[in-house]
């Protein structure tokens, strides 16, 4: 990792004393986002800051036991007098459009996404990191910040989830180095795994079964897309957060190179989650076309005023271009 990133992290901590810092992650937080936000809460508090942790949504079920914490809502937050630290995203529109309206500049940003540009005053951005939690773990240990056992477990969880248990194309030596340091600080990989992989909600499994039933192959079978309608959530009792990870099942099918989950939202938009078998397909570019973004092999979007039928022809065309390395 670039030594400048740790230097910037050191500056963030050295300026923290007496400062009001609101740590904000992207809406519909995943494991990396939860772990980044809550570990930075602890680290900044220890450095003397007055800290809040914001999100548009709640801490998802799977991470609740490890987090032992709840977010304050971005929607009711009054930003006056607060500096914003963005984690696991670089753009306020991914945090909350309502909050973006109320805010001017972002104070600091810690992120690893390919898409999005930040003009934060302090930036700890490493696009080749496996997780934002990986950047935090490496920087915090580098500059000698104290990491509690709870934060170590959370950061380990963030790296494990974003790298799909150290298997994504973004997994690198530093991912293991960060994990090694966290285990040394008391993180327990088995305890984290029991929380993450042996505590699924039955309603999520019911939603998975619906999703698998809708899978459709495009582009000579190389693309696999599945659909979730609003009624599917009512029928199964599943929540929005239960869609997390479903798209990986579509990608796991032999011969599938790009997988997608398209989801109908209440406000008449379509949310897409995309996965590529390799980074070469740059699925972030497909997502960017529909107003989203992400990583080369994992990306997403929310397209307003769309239906599955209006999205699909363009989606298929973009997938074909991507498979031809022509995007
Ligand atoms: Mn992440």
Q: What residues does CATH 3.10.310.30 cover in the chain? A: 202-323
All CATH 3.90.1640.10 domain ranges of the chain, comma separated, are: 3-197
Separation of alpha carbons 101 and 79, rounded Å: 11
| Domain 202-323 = CATH 1.20.120.1200 | no
For the domain made up of 3-197, give the CATH fold.
inorganic pyrophosphatase (n-terminal core) (3.90.1640)
Cα–Cα distances in angstroms (integers) from residue 290 to residues 7, 114, 120, 312, in the given order: 36, 16, 25, 12
At 196 the pLDDT is 93
- DSSP code, position 52: E
pTM, two decimal places: 0.87
Q: Which residues contact 45 (CB under 8 A, 6 or more apart)?
A: 51
Give residue 42 CA to ligand 1 midpoint distance, Å.
Answer: 19
- What spacing in Å lies between the alpha carbon of 220 and ligand 1's midpoint? 31
CA of 88 to the centre of ligand 1 (A): 5
Burial of 214-246, coded b for 16+ CB within 10 Å and e otherwise, reads: bbeebbeebbbbbbbeeebbeebebbbbbbbbb
pLDDT score, position 103: 87
The confidence score (pLDDT) of residue 326 equals 86
pLDDT < 70 regions, the chain:
none
Q: Ligand 1 centroid vs 309 CA: distance in angstroms?
A: 30
What's the CA gap between 131 and 125, in Å, rounded?
11
CA distances from 277 to 97, 104, 287 (A): 31, 38, 15
Chain-centroid distance of CA 108 in Å reads 18
- The number of beta carbons lying within 10 Å of the beta carbon of residue 303 is 21
pLDDT at residue 327, as a whole number: 84
Ligand 1 centroid vs 230 CA: distance in angstroms?
A: 26
Distance from Cα 81 to the centre of ligand 1, integer Å? 28
Supply the pLDDT for residue 267.
Answer: 92
């Amino acid at each position: 990792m670039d030594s400048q990133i740790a230097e910037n992290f050191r500056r963030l901590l050295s300026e923290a004393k007496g400062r009001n810092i609101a740590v904000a992650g992207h809406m519909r937080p995943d494991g990396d986002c939860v772990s980044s936000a809550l570990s930075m809460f602890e680290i900044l508090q220890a450095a003397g800051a007055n800290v809040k942790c914001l999100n548009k949504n709640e801490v998802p079920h799977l991470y609740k036991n490890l987090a032992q914490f709840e977010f304050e809502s971005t929607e009711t937050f009054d930003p006056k007098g607060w500096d914003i630290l963005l984690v696991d995203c670089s753009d306020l529109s991914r945090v909350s459009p309502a909050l973006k309206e109320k805010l001017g500049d972002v104070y600091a940003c810690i992120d690893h996404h390919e898409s999005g540009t930040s003009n934060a005053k302090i930036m700890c951005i490493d696009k080749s990191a496996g997780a934002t939690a990986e950047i935090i773990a490496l920087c915090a240990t580098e500059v000698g910040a104290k990491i509690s056992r709870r934060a170590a477990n959370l950061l380990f969880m963030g790296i494990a989830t974003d790298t799909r248990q150290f298997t994504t194309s973004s997994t690198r030596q530093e991912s293991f180095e960060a994990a090694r340091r966290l285990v040394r600080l008391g993180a327990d990989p088995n305890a984290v795994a029991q929380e993450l992989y042996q505590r699924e909600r039955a309603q999520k499994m019911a939603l998975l079964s619906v999703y698998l039933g809708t899978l459709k192959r495009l582009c000579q079978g190389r693309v696999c897309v599945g659909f979730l309608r609003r009624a599917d959530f009512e029928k199964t009792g599943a929540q929005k957060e239960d869609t997390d990870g479903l798209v990986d099942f579509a990608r796991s099918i032999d011969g599938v190179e790009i997988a997608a989950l398209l989801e109908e939202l209440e406000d008449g938009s379509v949310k897409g989650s995309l996965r590529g078998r390799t980074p070469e397909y740059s699925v972030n570019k497909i997502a960017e076309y529909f107003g989203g973004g992400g990583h080369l092999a994992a990306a997403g979007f929310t397209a307003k005023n769309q239906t599955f039928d209006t999205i699909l022809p363009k989606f298929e065309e973009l997938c074909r271009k991507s498979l031809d390395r022509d995007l």
